[in-house]
Chains A and B, each alone.
Chain A
């Protein structure tokens, strides 16, 4: 040991205070160099200009009025932001990601987690950047000792009462608290007292609560009251007794309740069906879309091996923002139950027996060649993709029949005017509306994401909502104008007080429910609605507010492809009926000697009438194009392999056509798509909404008389609408517990 080293040791020893003083001087921060942080002064020599950073997540800044741009400095880097941005948003534009728990883009600002503290020059203490509006010339510092110390302190307080159960926590691996404590927290704790514990709440069959893990960010409370529109969740108590809960013991009755799982930054709210099933790092994500309703929410299917483990939303500002409905999120266990896995033939004794594809197709081909062309009928199911629908249509047309339709489109659909069956305003366009007229539609159960958009608009602009139809549940203010089409006539003639609201509105929106398609007087209703639209200037060059809200994923594409039956009574004289996943079509009028082929993935309703069952793939197992209610074509991607001996829908019909002796001219998806190009080119514009070319006002006026019977309820049970959701146990639980 050298002398100098010894000397320095002695010096150091002498500087260490005695034990008594050490107690008083116990450092607040365990990281040594943060013990005495100095505020960063402007007098310090200017550091070299930082490299240009890109906004977080590739965000683009939209300046409503260019004059309102202000300039702030983030870590010495000047950035231009619009007036009204918060400090946190300014930092994001500058490419600095500020840690946060309570702040969420789509929720109101709470500012109670304090994780987003940054240093602002000339400010006496660190400021919560999420709640602080950015002022011109503000000098924000995100990387200084004060900011670091503030974060470390906040993190220590948050972890004080947070249980150390990450190994058994379902959020583990995708937990904000876990990540941020690794990034900003201290490597040791000083907490020696007891942690508090909170009683778990029962929020229903979907959301599991472990309330001890809660850090009181109140994101879920704000989500429930702002987005979902239910006042079920709230904050109880103060101080260390503070907890999130339903005020009285009740379930969370919202069709969007699953989203609190996503926004919860810790593992306090997790998915109940997913609990302890898988870890997020062993899952394979497949970006696809949802087909359980006509919205086409963008989802990510997380799968492990051949199983779909969970469904998460994907960001799409035009369709579902970042939310999905509970049906979308939790139907997935239906994909594992009641699956058809082998071709089957009903024998003469009425029992099914498993056969090979060769035999099954041979029998179908034999029968289809024996019946007369006009006795052949095809029905596409509500989950069919555009490719298989065009193949089915081509197959039946080659057989000489034109009796093909998609269920849900009614007996006599009008496919001539695209504007007559899609949502012309577009889902994101609804935000500009200031008056809504909902005709025979209950958007909350028919299309929960569209309903969330309407609610957002109503909350933001206090738009008036008028509703014609049976009494139903809305989660925003509305006026029930009546229950029958007579009310529409009154509005058209200006006799109804709501017509004044429509007349005063700048951007009025009329939404017709798809249930109208099933009515006999639908043409008359469309005529009246057209009259209202004309009178109140609903359809203008810059604004198209006349919408139809579809309920099934296949509907829009089916009408685009022209799946319109020749006669609406074809089912009564059918001798051969081809059901492509059609389970909601009424087979009561079908003659007893008719030969029924059911091609689908679930043994649901129509299977029991089938003579031949051809197992097909579900939407999670195939690539297919779907057009949503606003006419935006999107594709699904296969996330899991097919089950059993099933085949893709279009492949089955293509093979059948060859066995039947009328080979279809394509044998790949690309070939089918070039066929679609000749029929409906808009279905090939993937992820882009193609607006309708012709306005609905071109529709010829109908001489039909309006019938006085009131509008019905189209979707009886939100949770069980198709073959997959009807097979799901979770959906059955939900409908038993939450259906009012």
Chain B
């Protein structure tokens, strides 16, 4: 935790990556840093009961993979900067619990319907169980 905070404290704008290779290396560094900060994030936001660290790791990875097609090192640097900023906000407790849950736990696919789904029921019955007004 202290180590992560130390790294983040030195966080500043680095000179541009000269090649794609360097940008790639920086990305891996960022991912490692994010993974190292996950336990402290779990603690800060009391996420033990909602998520497992591996899920958070996977969601960070998914965020990175989303930009896998980008080859311009300048763009990668920019995205890395924004990612670092986001990570700093998260680690500094600048966010609230529901932000983390909304963005990284629930993620983009949204909450799955936990209510029992009986396939035979009609649209009417589903609406009826939901509310009086339809």
Task: Judge A-B direct contact (beta carbons within 8 Å).
Answer: yes
User: Taking beta carbons and an 8 Å cutoff, which residues of A are in contact with B?
Assistant: 356-358, 617, 642, 646-648, 651, 654-655, 658-659, 663, 667
**B132, A658: Cβ atoms closer than 8 Å:** no
- How far apart are A504's CB and chain B's nearest CB, in angstroms? 58
A residues in contact with B116, CB < 8 Å: 358
**A357, B128: Cβ atoms closer than 8 Å:** yes
A residues in contact with B132, CB < 8 Å: 617, 642, 646-648, 651
B residues in contact with A648, CB < 8 Å: 132
B residues in contact with A659, CB < 8 Å: 125
Provide 17 A-B residue pairs closer than 8 Å at the C-beta atoms, listed in order of the A residue.
Answer: A356-B129, A357-B129, A358-B116, A617-B132, A642-B132, A647-B132, A651-B128, A654-B124, A655-B125, A655-B128, A655-B129, A658-B121, A658-B124, A658-B125, A659-B125, A663-B122, A667-B124
Taking CB as reference atom, which chain B residue is nearest A654?
B124
A658 to B132: give the CA distance in the assembly, Å: 16
Taking CB as reference atom, which chain A residue is nearest B118?
A358
**Contact mask for chain B residues 96-134; partner A; CB cutoff 8 A; 1 contact, 0 none:** 000000000000000000001000011011001100100
A654 to B125: give the CA distance in the assembly, Å: 9
- How far apart are A364's CB and chain B's nearest CB, in angstroms? 14
A residues in contact with B129, CB < 8 Å: 356-358, 655
In this complex, the member of B116, B125, B128, B129 whose beta carbon has the largest number of chain A beta carbons within 10 angstroms is B128
- How far apart are A293's CB and chain B's nearest CB, in angstroms? 27
B residues in contact with A617, CB < 8 Å: 132
B residues in contact with A655, CB < 8 Å: 124-125, 128-129
Taking CB as reference atom, which chain B residue is nearest A356?
B129
- How far apart are A581's CB and chain B's nearest CB, in angstroms? 16
Taking CB as reference atom, which chain B residue is nearest A659?
B125
A655 to B121: give the CA distance in the assembly, Å: 10
A617 to B131: give the CA distance in the assembly, Å: 13
B residues in contact with A647, CB < 8 Å: 128, 132
A residues in contact with B121, CB < 8 Å: 658
For the complex, count residues of B whose C-beta is within 8 A of A: 8
With contacts defined as CB atoms under 8 Å apart, how many contacts are there between chain A and chain B in the complex? 26
Taking CB as reference atom, which chain B residue is nearest A648?
B132
A residues in contact with B128, CB < 8 Å: 357, 647, 651, 654-655
20 further interface pairs, Cβ-Cβ under 8 Å (given A356-B129, A651-B132): A357-B128, A358-B116, A358-B129, A617-B132, A642-B132, A646-B132, A647-B128, A647-B132, A648-B132, A651-B128, A654-B128, A655-B124, A655-B125, A655-B128, A655-B129, A658-B122, A658-B124, A658-B125, A659-B125, A663-B122
B residues in contact with A646, CB < 8 Å: 132
- How far apart are B119's CB and chain A's nearest CB, in angstroms? 14
A358 to B121: give the CA distance in the assembly, Å: 11
A356 to B125: give the CA distance in the assembly, Å: 13
A735 to B32: give the CA distance in the assembly, Å: 79
Interface residues of B in 40-95 (CB under 8 A from A): none
A648 to B122: give the CA distance in the assembly, Å: 18
Taking CB as reference atom, which chain B residue is nearest A664?
B124
A663 to B124: give the CA distance in the assembly, Å: 11
- How far apart are B21's CB and chain A's nearest CB, in angstroms? 59
A356 to B121: give the CA distance in the assembly, Å: 16
- How far apart are A488's CB and chain B's nearest CB, in angstroms? 49
Taking CB as reference atom, which chain B residue is nearest A357?
B129
- How far apart are B116's CB and chain A's nearest CB, in angstroms? 8
A331 to B125: give the CA distance in the assembly, Å: 34
In the A-B complex, the 10 residue pairs with the closest CB atoms: A655-B128, A667-B124, A647-B132, A642-B132, A658-B125, A357-B129, A655-B125, A358-B129, A651-B128, A648-B132
B residues in contact with A651, CB < 8 Å: 128, 132
A654 to B128: give the CA distance in the assembly, Å: 10
A residues in contact with B125, CB < 8 Å: 655, 658-659
- How far apart are A642's CB and chain B's nearest CB, in angstroms? 5
Taking CB as reference atom, which chain A residue is nearest B121?
A658
A residues in contact with B124, CB < 8 Å: 654-655, 658, 667
A648 to B128: give the CA distance in the assembly, Å: 10
B residues in contact with A658, CB < 8 Å: 121-122, 124-125
A520 to B58: give the CA distance in the assembly, Å: 79
- How far apart are B113's CB and chain A's nearest CB, in angstroms? 14
A663 to B129: give the CA distance in the assembly, Å: 16
- How far apart are A76's CB and chain B's nearest CB, in angstroms? 56
- How far apart are A660's CB and chain B's nearest CB, in angstroms? 12
Taking CB as reference atom, which chain B residue is nearest A644?
B132
A524 to B27: give the CA distance in the assembly, Å: 98
A659 to B122: give the CA distance in the assembly, Å: 10
- How far apart are B41's CB and chain A's nearest CB, in angstroms? 36
A647 to B134: give the CA distance in the assembly, Å: 11
Taking CB as reference atom, which chain B residue is nearest A647?
B132
- How far apart are A111's CB and chain B's nearest CB, in angstroms? 53
B residues in contact with A663, CB < 8 Å: 122
Taking CB as reference atom, which chain A residue is nearest B123?
A667
Taking CB as reference atom, which chain A residue is nearest B116?
A358
Taking CB as reference atom, which chain B residue is nearest A663?
B122
B residues in contact with A642, CB < 8 Å: 132
**Contact mask for chain B residues 6-35; partner A; CB cutoff 8 A; 1 contact, 0 none:** 000000000000000000000000000000
Taking CB as reference atom, which chain A residue is nearest B130?
A357
B residues in contact with A358, CB < 8 Å: 116, 129
- How far apart are A622's CB and chain B's nearest CB, in angstroms? 9
Taking CB as reference atom, which chain A residue is nearest B122?
A658
B residues in contact with A356, CB < 8 Å: 129
A520 to B66: give the CA distance in the assembly, Å: 82
- How far apart are B89's CB and chain A's nearest CB, in angstroms? 40
A357 to B127: give the CA distance in the assembly, Å: 12
Taking CB as reference atom, which chain B residue is nearest A615?
B132
A722 to B124: give the CA distance in the assembly, Å: 32
- How far apart are A355's CB and chain B's nearest CB, in angstroms? 12
Taking CB as reference atom, which chain A residue is nearest B115?
A358
Taking CB as reference atom, which chain B residue is nearest A651?
B128
Taking CB as reference atom, which chain B residue is nearest A655?
B128
- How far apart are A359's CB and chain B's nearest CB, in angstroms? 11
A50 to B124: give the CA distance in the assembly, Å: 60
A651 to B124: give the CA distance in the assembly, Å: 9
Taking CB as reference atom, which chain B residue is nearest A358?
B129
- How far apart are B51's CB and chain A's nearest CB, in angstroms? 28
A residues in contact with B122, CB < 8 Å: 658, 663
A663 to B121: give the CA distance in the assembly, Å: 11
A647 to B128: give the CA distance in the assembly, Å: 8
A647 to B133: give the CA distance in the assembly, Å: 8
- How far apart are B130's CB and chain A's nearest CB, in angstroms? 9
Taking CB as reference atom, which chain B residue is nearest A362?
B118
A658 to B122: give the CA distance in the assembly, Å: 8
A655 to B125: give the CA distance in the assembly, Å: 6
In this complex, the member of A646, A654, A658, A663 whose beta carbon has the largest number of chain B beta carbons within 10 angstroms is A658
In this complex, the member of B121, B122, B124, B132 whose beta carbon has the largest number of chain A beta carbons within 10 angstroms is B132
- How far apart are B118's CB and chain A's nearest CB, in angstroms? 8
- How far apart are A387's CB and chain B's nearest CB, in angstroms? 15
- How far apart are B25's CB and chain A's nearest CB, in angstroms? 55
A592 to B129: give the CA distance in the assembly, Å: 31
In this complex, the member of A646, A651, A654, A663 whose beta carbon has the largest number of chain B beta carbons within 10 angstroms is A651
B residues in contact with A667, CB < 8 Å: 124
A655 to B122: give the CA distance in the assembly, Å: 10
A647 to B131: give the CA distance in the assembly, Å: 8
A663 to B128: give the CA distance in the assembly, Å: 14
- How far apart are A709's CB and chain B's nearest CB, in angstroms? 47
- How far apart are B30's CB and chain A's nearest CB, in angstroms? 47
- How far apart are B76's CB and chain A's nearest CB, in angstroms? 51
A351 to B125: give the CA distance in the assembly, Å: 28
Taking CB as reference atom, which chain B residue is nearest A621?
B132
A589 to B132: give the CA distance in the assembly, Å: 35
- How far apart are B133's CB and chain A's nearest CB, in angstroms? 8
A452 to B25: give the CA distance in the assembly, Å: 93
